[in-house]
Structure 1
């Protein structure tokens, strides 16, 4: 509880106008069930109590709760109005002032765009993409599961990479992205294989499926095969020696454990079967400042796999841009799909945490908040987002 003395100061050029103003103020207060009393013979004490001297000379007090008292404190609105390369994010609901923010100046630049269908998530993302493209020099990469950003990217002279089961891009020519791509800066450790192996484990988990995911023996076999597959390339980093998914498949077949044969059998569909779109070396240039991966045509079987592979391609781009001191903005729609499998969720969270240190600015977009909250890793996502 608080004891409050509420004073209203009325000033006017003439006595008549002052009396009229006091009468009008009392009438407005009366409409709101509040009685204002004129301080007869206490004018000086009232004025001295109103100025910011911290002294109350009026012995009239009213007991109020904390929430009721807070109404009388006018300077409580928090503003976000940064200068420099700040982007427009809307209006402050309380003060109506613009919200201008440079996410690179925040403690953590990671972001989430959440909302129900039709609430304007895609519009908010497009507005931020456009502002970032025009105001900053950052690279912008989009994972587009519903082909929503095609028109915007084309108008900004960006590059659209359409991934489909047939492997044909927008112009009808083959467009492939190799999930086994790696560069020597893939990790800050001496060997980039540790993080890449984590990605391959996540990929295999999506391929194998099941409620239990990968077992410890499965992970050991895959990790061994990954190290063997990348050994020639790391010894001589020639792009022609970059391994593909088929090389991992062949290496798994060489392993003596029965688990290796089971994993290879699961990969066969994506190596030599009808879904072999990711068993090719990358043949598209990813040097454009604005790149959109259109994965709508991948369908249900390949969509989550495509999102994971795009995320890995973004990480490759982030590691390259870091050496050039350039930021990389990554927008991913339907983010909740990456949090359903345990290993995939853990890898996504690890990348999410690493982005800030490496100059990445990820933005996850989803309407399935329920699915997002169902993941055990969501607390880490929220903890790494400001």
Structure 2
């Protein structure tokens, strides 16, 4: 409704001196270009067989959709002016207004330059998607005009009901609007045809006062006819209220129309709607036209071929704003705007774009590079068993094959192991009986932009202590000060000489806290003891696995419930370390967290997750939660 109302406003803003043409062009793309946009090129490594398989899957999906068709919308407006200088000034004003209207609608519109306009015309005259080659500097040297670069090999307009253009057959039809009311689906149904189709609406506003005068004249005529009928009735001696039903109906309709124009912000427009079909054979053309006609029939309208006016029809179907077919239908603003050209939003980016599925409305592929969107953060949501983890694995594989990004997975269900093994990644099994260790005290000193690594580390260790000490109120102010003091002290020797053997472990922090004089220190130390000398001392070791592999998966399935939250918090800290390291190298880091709801249960891990979702983007991180 909002789009419809904004369209009404846009049409109302065009006065009678502006001609408007809305062109909706659906045509075949160049097949080679299209295939190459989804092909993952081999790189002569261990993963080429996966690349080939993935490309094959994308090709199958491409054939299932109708992505072979590129749909574009053009709005052309024309004015008459005495010279080009005054025309330019006025066109610039109209252009600014129109772009603002599109902004309100939420449609991204841009202005075409001369070469792009030629390319559009070339595309219409070469429906197979032949490439357009042209440069302005070729014109003087060759003595040719721009027409030579866009024209097809031949035109033939001998037949009354169709024409030939190059090796193709084409036909232009016009829409007879006989329906008492129109639907906003009609245009969408035309555009969803499997074959290329071009729909053009030529819209000409009528001066508002003129329109009102015309309707008042019609009402006067109808009234006069009514009086004539009444006189006739009296002369013949029957009841003067019996008048032909047509007169009564038309009189009522005309008065309604007058009321709309005078008090309902409606204006009058003359509309010509043309449909151009192009096909390889006559039979195919007849089928396509029949298919389009049946869509019109469904909405109580008729699609009629333009007999002996095919050439004028074709020239009126290219976006030059010229209408040579004067079969017009008067409509009010809302009846004109009901032909809403915006039905579906497509997302088909090039470059490092990953495959996300098919668009439910148009069946086209969704290819998207999250780094180029407003915000790269993601969530994969769905009911259990609906394929969340599978779509995450598909995205991970896709990202691994076509980007250079690092990928980290937090896997509470141990289900990513086969994929990570096949992609030669590192699976880190975090459990009480595992010999693979991660040190929560690991720190990365390569921070940029004034962030001090110690401050961020201290923040993490506070969350860590808060999580293991539990309690309703969390840490008291004194305890926070104590922990912060101990953290700064523990890292002193590593900061002075940053070599691996100087990296502190949890035990060092425990000893440092025990040295503090305050009585609260003993309480913190007692809580930490279980994780340092007790049965949960899994995190009191230096890191002994390759956490710098391009693909790292933390498998935390076997961590008990007590340790799972702590484990997830430590993994998030490892991810931060990795992100800061990659940031200085200008590399992106993708982080996938399965069973994301587990992190949101606890206040500390939830707060840490929020931090990631808010700040990751600036550091080149791309988080994805799966729940």
Structure 2 CA distance for aligned equivalents of residues 321 and 140 of structure 1: 11
Q: Deviations over 1:307-335 (max 9, x none)?
A: 11111111212222222222221111122
Instruction: Give yes or no for contact 1:203–1:344 (8 Å, CA) kept in 2.
Output: no
**Among 584, 589, 592, which residue is 1:323 paired with?**
584
Question: Greater CA deviation, 148-157 or 111-120?
Answer: 111-120
Pick from 361, 365, 378 the counterpart of residue 94 of structure 1: 361
Distance 2:452 2:295 in 1: 74
Give the superposition deviation at 1:291. 1.1
1:247 is aligned, of 508, 519, 536, to 508
Whether 1:140 aligns to 2:407 is yes
Matched, 1:113 2:380: yes
- Aligned match of 2:540 in 279, 295, 317? 279
**Higher RCO, 1 vs 2 (CA within 8 Å, ≥6 residues apart):** 1
Aligned partners of 2:289, 2:442: CA distance in 1, in Å? Answer: 77
Cα distance in 2 for partners of 1:297, 1:29 equals 63
Cα pair distance change 1:24/1:157, threshold 3 Å: closer
For 1:267, the equivalent position in structure 2 comes to 528
Offset at residue 303 of structure 1 (A) = 1.0
Contact 1:138–1:329 (8 Å) recurs in 2: yes
Of 482, 499, 503, 1:221 maps to: 482
Shift of 1:285: 1.6
1:156 aligned to which of 423, 431, 451: 423
Deviation at 1:149, TM superposition (A): 0.3
| Aligned alpha-carbon RMSD (Å) | 3.6
Displacement of 1:240 = 0.8
**Distance in 1 (alpha carbons) for counterparts of 2:546 and 2:570:** 16
What is residue 349 of structure 2 aligned with on the other side?
82
Counterpart CA distance in 2 for 1:234 and 1:187 is: 16
- Measured after TM superposition, the shift of residue 352 of structure 1 is 3.1
What's the counterpart of residue 184 of structure 1?
A: 445
Pairs within 5 Å for 1:307-318: 307-318=568-579
The count of corresponding residues between Structure 1 and Structure 2 is 349
Separation of aligned partners in 2, 1:82 and 1:23: 34
Of the structure 1 ranges 77-86 and 151-160, higher mean CA displacement relative to structure 2 is found in 77-86
Gaps of 5+ in 2: 9-265, 278-286
Instruction: Give TM-score, length-normalised by structure 1.
Output: 0.78
Q: 1:337 to 1:256 in 2, by over 3 A?
A: farther
Change over 3 Å in CA distance of 1:246–1:187 after alignment to 2: farther
Query: Are the structure 2 counterparts of residues 203 and 178 from structure 1 closer, same or farther at C-alpha, using a change threshold of 3 Å?
Result: same
SS across alignment from 1:141: strand
CA contact (8 A) 1:7 1:50 kept: no
Which of 230, 233, 237 aligns to 2:491? It is 230
Q: 1:210 aligns with which of 445, 449, 471?
A: 471
In structure 1, C-alpha distance between the alignment counterparts of 2:290 and 2:561, rounded to whole Å: 71
Give yes or no for contact 1:162–1:294 (8 Å, CA) kept in 2. Answer: yes
2:398 aligns to what?
131
Measure, in 1, the Cα distance between the counterparts of 2:511 and 2:522.
10
TM-score (norm 2): 0.50
3-state SS in 1 of match to 2:553: strand
**1:347 deviation in Å?**
3.0
- 2:48 aligns to what? none
Q: Is the 8 A contact 1:90 1:99 kept in 2?
A: yes
Q: 1:157-182 CA distances to partner (integer Å, 9 max, x unpaired)?
A: 1111101012x2xxxxx110000000
Q: Could you say which residue in structure 2 is the equivalent of 1:357?
A: 618
Does 266-275 or 105-114 show the bigger shift? 105-114
On the 8 A contact 1:198/1:347 being kept in 2, the answer is: no
Contact residue 612 and residue 623 of structure 2 kept, 8 A: no
- SS of 2:395 mapped into structure 1: helix
Distance (whole Å) between structure 2 residues aligned to residue 37 and residue 109 of structure 1: 46
Report how far residue 254 of structure 1 moved: 1.9
- The structure in which a higher percent of residues are strand is 2
1:281 positional shift: 0.7
User: 1:322, 1:358 within 8 Å by CA — same for their partners in 2?
Assistant: yes
1:338 shift after superposition: 2.6
Whether contact under 8 Å (1:186, 1:196) holds in the other structure is no
In the alignment, the residues of structure 2 paired with residue 146 and residue 130 of structure 1 have an alpha-carbon distance, to the nearest angstrom, of 19
Q: Is 2:591–2:624's contact at 8 Å kept on the other side of the alignment?
A: yes
For residue 92 of structure 1, report the CA deviation from its aligned partner.
Answer: 1.6
**Secondary structure at the counterpart of residue 361 of structure 1:** strand
Which entry has the higher C-alpha Rg, 1 or 2?
2
C-alpha displacement of 1:147: 0.4
Cα deviations by residue, 1:76-134 (Å, 9 ceiling, x for unpaired): 42222111121111112222221111222223222111122112110111001101111
Structure 1 counterpart SS, 2:527:
helix
Q: How far apart are the structure 2 equivalents of 1:236 and 1:265?
A: 30
Encode CA deviations 1:261-308: one digit per residue, 9 max, x unaligned: 222222121111111100111111223211111000002111111111
Cα offset, 1:342, TM superposition: 3.4
Say if 1:213 and 1:344 are closer, same or farther in 2 by CA, change over 3 A: farther
